Amino acid sequence: MGKTAGYNWKSILYGSGLVLAACIMWGCNGESGNEAAPVVTIEEYRKNVYQTTAVKKGTIEPALTLTLTPDQFEIKQYSMDTEEMLKVAELHVEEGSHVTEGQVMAVFENDGLQEKIDEYEQRKEEDRLLAEHYQKLAKIDSAQDYAKDIKKLKEDISLMDIYIEETKAELKDFQLIASKAGTVTKIEEDLKKGFVTGNYSLISVVSGSSDYIAETSDDYVFQIGDTYEAAFQLAVYEMKVIAVEETEGRQRITFEPVSDMTGVAEQDKLSMTIKKTPIRNAVYVEQTAIHTIDDKDYAFTVDENGYRHAVLVTVKEVVDEYAIIADGLKEGEQVTLN
């Protein structure tokens, strides 16, 4: 009998396995297999990170800070009502000078009007002295009658008064006179150089009363007569409460200086810090940690696993950017600020 050809099944199975493995590694799409297999990247899980602050318990020392503004503050511009060139005869002020009401700040050449006034004043004085002399002579010698001479001298004095007033009225047209007390803040360069032309501002004066005004919505109680300290730069001044007005939940307090205010100009503002009564055993947290939703206050606490929880809280009051908590939070709890 002839031999029958047989199959080596182990070899066939082994070869098939190699082909299958190659298909898995390089793909069985009939292509060259040069392209890399796609890579799928899954982002790593990250837990939300919150900015937090701790709820505290202790004593809060609140303070009320006020800005004191000069009362009736205004700036007055002084000029000459003329289009002609004027020559400066006298300049009595400089920037920073304090002037009083009626003070002559500058005088322009005026054809000798001031000299005329001086002459009239001198003549008045001579008439007055001569009248007194006649009165003394009359007492010494009653036989002598000086009544007509004295009457004439008095009439001449009255006439000089009229001349003086008329000349002063003319002189005002050649003067810059402060209509209100204040501080000179600016002098035009032309005025400093000695000549001015045209109707424009020559001297600026800042004026105001000596009182200061402060406003606040704080419920701090101000009593008339109480004194406080206010600061300007490095100096400290004592101020007294002279009036307190309340309108629509705001207080308007008027302060009168007790100290000498030398060094403070009318436009300068003062700063005042008042320490209020300490609040003890208060549970408090930064005001930014409280969120108001539908007229209710909430805070978001953070547990040990980093999860947030909304908590309804009762805010007693807000003091110096801290919310004082009456209910809802405990000391040591972590709450979010963002």
What single string gives the DSSP state of each residue in 137-174?
Answer: HHHH-TTS--HHHHHHHHHHHHHHHHHHHHHHHHHGGG
- pTM comes to 0.49
Count Cβ atoms within 10 A of the Cβ of residue 230 and give its class: 0-12 exposed, 13-18 middle, 19 or more buried.
buried
Report the chain's C-alpha Rg in angstroms: 47
- Is the domain covering 52-62+278-336 a CATH 2.40.420.20 domain? yes
Q: What is the pLDDT of residues 52-68, one digit of tens each?
A: 999 999 999 999 999 99
Element (H, E) at 74: strand 74-78
Ordered per-residue pLDDT tens for the chain, 338 residues: 444 444 454 554 455 555 555 544 545 454 555 556 667 666 665 566 788 999 999 999 999 999 999 887 788 899 988 777 888 888 999 998 889 999 999 988 877 777 888 899 999 999 999 999 988 888 888 888 888 988 999 999 999 999 898 888 777 778 899 998 888 889 999 999 999 876 789 999 988 778 999 999 998 999 999 999 999 999 999 999 999 999 888 999 999 999 888 888 878 899 999 999 999 999 999 999 999 999 999 999 998 888 899 999 999 988 888 999 999 999 999 999 87
Alpha-carbon distances, residue 279 vs 66, 221, 223, 231, 314 (angstroms): 21, 16, 21, 26, 17
Give dist(CA 327, CA 338) in Å, integer. Answer: 21
Distance CA 202, CA 79 (A): 5
Burial class of residue 144, CB neighbours in 10 A (0-12, 13-18, 19+): exposed
Could you check whether 52-62+278-336 and 74-207 share the same CATH topology?
no
What are the tens digits of pLDDT across the range 159-202? 999 989 888 877 777 889 999 888 888 999 999 999 987 678 99
Closest CA to 80 of 51, 59, 110, 50: 110
Going from N- to C-terminal start, the domains of the chain cover: 52-62+278-336, 74-207
Question: Is 176 exposed, middle or buried (CB count within 10 Å of its CB: 0-12, 13-18, 19+)?
Answer: buried
User: What's the fold here for domain 74-207?
Assistant: OB fold (Dihydrolipoamide Acetyltransferase, E2P) (2.40.50)
